Amino acid sequence: MIPAVEVREVSYRQNGSLILDRVSLMVSEGDFYALLGPNGGGKTTLLKIILGLLPVTTGTVRIFGSAPNDGRSLVGYVPQFRTFDFRYPITVREMVLSGRLSHTRGLVRSYTEEDHEVTERVLDQLTLSGLSDRTLSHLSGGEQQRAILARALVGRPRLLILDEPTVYVDTPTEVQFFDILEDLKKSMTILLVSHDIGVISRHVTKVACLNHTLHTHDTPEITEDMIAATYRCPVDLIAHGLPHRVLDDHQKRAGP
């Protein structure tokens, strides 16, 4: 089976700094893959390379066997929450419908009956139908989050990529969001990126940690070695409400 995402020995430099160092990653079709790592570790850069928005210095990237620019139509992308201006005066329906623009044809782009039908189905799927005529600024954080997700889903992607999707939401909203992703993973591959180890849940099937280099683990568990290599400091993991110390305290590890 052709992988949904295949990254081989990818390196990337920016202003002379090595952002990604020989990164290799394979996301199989049907995976719910979590890519974790600290801020500034190269996660968003890697996503942009996968999407074909940045060129690689060395290495290759394939999306369902095709080059990123050719495979992009198979990808639904949910960017970081803070990149959206929710003060923009459009309705939820208008925002979600705009996700169909890549499916329009001709110099003058116009929406088809199919575009509107798909939009209404996705609005209903994410329980946004009753909110579809509201402007974005009149939504709660959780509702705004679902609207961003809906915009990615109207393109009927085979691969859904989410960049820090739970940063600005509370715990109940995050739980609800993961329930939605659990349902979506039945019909698409999911790659979720976060700096927060706490996003790991029972829904995730595989985990990798990225901090310029990549440390993979083909199970949903995060090992002590992965944490040590990636975060390089003590981390408390919260699993089902129980804290687990995976490394010694900073004070104990400090030198004289």
pLDDT digits (tens, 9 = 90+) for 82-131: 677 778 889 999 999 999 987 655 555 788 999 999 999 999 999 999 99
- Bridge-partner residues for 159, per DSSP? 75, 189
DSSP 135: B
Under CATH, to which class is 5-89+156-253 assigned? alpha beta
Rounded-to-integer distance, Cα 137 and Cα 103, Å: 27
| Measured CA distances, 105 to 70, 94, 98, 100, 153 (Å) | 17, 18, 14, 11, 19
* Residue 236: half-sphere exposure toward Cβ, Cα within 13 Å: 7
Rounded-to-integer distance, Cα 49 and Cα 185, Å: 23
Quick one: average pLDDT of 243-255? 39
- Structure tokens belonging to residue 142: 């959780």
User: What is the average pLDDT score of the chain?
Assistant: 82
pLDDT at 249: 41
| Measured CA distances, 170 to 45, 71, 98, 141, 210 (Å) | 26, 34, 27, 9, 25
pLDDT tens per residue, range 47-78:
999 999 998 889 999 999 999 999 988 999 99
Find how far residue 162's CA is from the centre of its chain. 2
pLDDT at 255: 41
Find how far residue 243's CA is from the centre of its chain. 25
pLDDT tens per residue, range 196-239:
776 666 778 888 889 999 987 666 665 555 555 555 544 444 44
- Whether the per-residue pLDDT at 182 is higher than 80: the answer is yes
- Bridge-partner residues for 135, per DSSP? 91
pLDDT at 107: 55
* CB environment 122-154: b (16+ within 10 A), e (fewer): bbebbebeebbeeebeebeebbbbbbbbbbbbb
Helices (H), the chain: 43-50, 68-71, 92-97, 113-125, 141-153, 171-184, 224-231, 250-253
Please state whether beta strands 242-245 and 236-239 pair in parallel, antiparallel, or not at all (unpaired). antiparallel
pLDDT at 156: 94
- Please tell me which residue, 105 or 160, carries the higher pLDDT value: 160
- Please tell me which residue, 77 or 245, carries the higher pLDDT value: 77
Straight-line distance from the first to the last Cα atom of the chain, in angstroms, rounded to the nearest whole number? 54
- Whether the per-residue pLDDT at 166 is higher than 90: the answer is no
pLDDT tens per residue, range 4-55:
999 999 999 988 899 999 999 999 999 999 998 888 899 999 999 999 999 8
